[in-house]
């Protein structure tokens, strides 16, 4: 129960803006996250967002 929060489809539940999961510092993007469209271009864009947000998270922590 202390693991990742999943959707009813078995994908990671994420914040739609930051792509962060319920576990601080863990991000998901593309087809493995909630709201996935199955489109490569969307997955690539989400990967960029997740990378930027991960960098912000790390900078804020350290």
Domain 1-62: which topology? FAD/NAD(P)-binding domain (3.50.50)
Percent of the chain's residues with pLDDT above 90? 85
Concatenating the DSSP letter of every residue in 2-60 gives -S--B-TTSPBP--TTT-B-SSTT-B--GGGBTT----HHHHHHHHHHHHHHHHHHHHH
Among 2, 34, 5, 31, smallest CA distance to 17 is for 34
Domain assignments of the chain as residue spans, ordered by start: 1-62
Other C-beta atoms lying within 10 Å of the C-beta of residue 20: 18
Judge whether 22 and 13 are in contact, CB under 8 Å: yes
| pTM for this entry | 0.86
Q: Each residue of 47-62: pLDDT tens digit?
A: 999 999 999 999 999 8
Q: Each residue of 31-45: pLDDT tens digit?
A: 999 887 889 999 999
């Amino acid at each position: 129960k202390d693991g990742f929060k999943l959707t009813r489809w078995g994908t990671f539940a994420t914040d739609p803006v930051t792509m962060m999961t319920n576990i601080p510092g863990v991000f998901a993007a593309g087809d493995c996250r909630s709201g996935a469209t199955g489109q490569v271009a969307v997955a690539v864009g989400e990967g960029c967002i997740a990378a930027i947000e991960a960098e912000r998270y790390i900078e804020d922590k350290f």
